[in-house]
Amino acid sequence: MTKATARAYPNIALVKYWGKRDSTLMLPLTGSMSMTLDDFPTTTTVERTPEAAADHFELNGEVIEGEPLRRVTKFLDLVREQAGIREFAAVRSKNEVPTAAGLASSASGFAALALAASKAYDLSLDPADVSRLARRGSGSATRSVIPHFAVWRAGDDETSVAEAIDAPDMRMIVVVVNAGNKEISSREAMKRTALTSPFNDAWVSSTEQALESMMSACADNDFTRIGRITETNALRMHATIQACDPPILYLAPTSLAIFNKVRELRESGLEAYATADAGPNVCVIARPEDADAVAAALVEFGSVRTMAPGPGAELLADSE
């Protein structure tokens, strides 16, 4: 094959990845667990271009240069090295995450790129291998290769891959909060956390425990425990990040208002739990039958979108 197209979806962690043990191999400090979403995919075509003198990268029809192109080339270099093929490639990506949605596109982006590039360069990889490769592009991409729910073990270069885990069916209600302030990248903020947050060691040990509890809550099909672990782990991550010097505040007043509202919903008998990544948007999990009522209670805070567990990275038909 010299050309392949793959599609992958974003994921939201219920136990967060925050911090690297090795930033070249992209090994995380702890394991993490996530739900892959069923909307906002990235679709990427990789086509080998034997005549070209460099890689070419287009995102939503626009030619991209600078740092994003450098990241794509660095990633393709790994694929070329594994394949023993030196040819450059044209990468055309379509991101369906509306720019304002604030959902990380690096997870879906590198998961789709890993699968498309591995096929275009004739590597025959199983899903664990694709997950391992995607990890080198962006940590959270490791998990987007896997459908529905994924657990990514810290491990070493060989074993640090994501695999599927059974969890009770649930919905994720994404509340997009328009905070207007420019975020510090997760890469930058992870570095600052490791260097300056006095809570970093406690974050690592409590997250290791949270992941073990999450695995047993999933095995028990226990949505309540899953929700409690999710919300506590997210707030611990933000507490750790806020304790950096200089501090980093990802949560906006509206984000906190949503966490409070979700607690009120629980007190009134509607079970839901909140989480948030490196930004002001809040994602709320609920049982499928409660999702509409939870979404309706959150529309006052921003635009709301309800998502179900979604597919893993998949190859599309036009590959040749």
Residues that bind ligand PMV (CB under 6 A): 13, 16-18, 32, 104, 106-107, 138-140, 186-187, 277-278
Nearer to ligand PMV, 74 or 187 (CB): 187
Of residues 150 and 170, the one with the C-beta less far from ligand PMV = 150
| Joined tokens for residue 290 | 């409660």
Question: Min. distance of Cβ 152 from ligand PMV in angstroms?
Answer: 8
Which residue matches tokens 């309800």? 306
Q: Toward ligand PMV, which CB reaches closer, 9 or 17?
A: 17
181 or 293: CB nearest ligand PMV = 181
Q: Work out how close the CB of 96 gets to ligand PMV at its nearest, in angstroms, rounded to a whole number.
A: 17
We find the least distance from the C-beta atom of residue 317 to ligand PMV, in angstroms, to be 29
Shortest reach from residue 33's CB to ligand PMV, in Å: 9
Give the residue among 184, 198, 193, 197 at the shortest CA–CA distance from 280: 184
**Residue closest to 130 by CA, chosen among 153, 147, 113:** 113
3-state secondary structure of 273: strand
Nearest Cα to 170, choosing from 46, 263, 283?
283
Q: How far apart are CA 169 and CA 308, in angstroms?
A: 8
Closest approach of ligand PMV to the CB of residue 186, in Å: 4
* Close Cβ partners of 170 (under 8 Å, ≥ 6 residues apart): 35, 223, 226, 285, 286, 287, 288, 309
CA 248, distance to chain mean position in Å, is: 20
**Residue 54 or 239 having the CB closest to ligand PMV:** 239
CB of 227 to ligand PMV, least distance (A): 17
Is omega for the bond preceding 246 within 30 degrees of 0, making it cis?
yes
Taking the least distance from each CB to ligand PMV, the nearer of 102 and 139 is 139
Q: What gap in Å lies between CA 174 and CA 72, rounded to an integer? A: 28
Per the listing, tokens 């699968």 go with: 115
Do the beta carbons of residue 89 and residue 75 sit within 8 Å? no
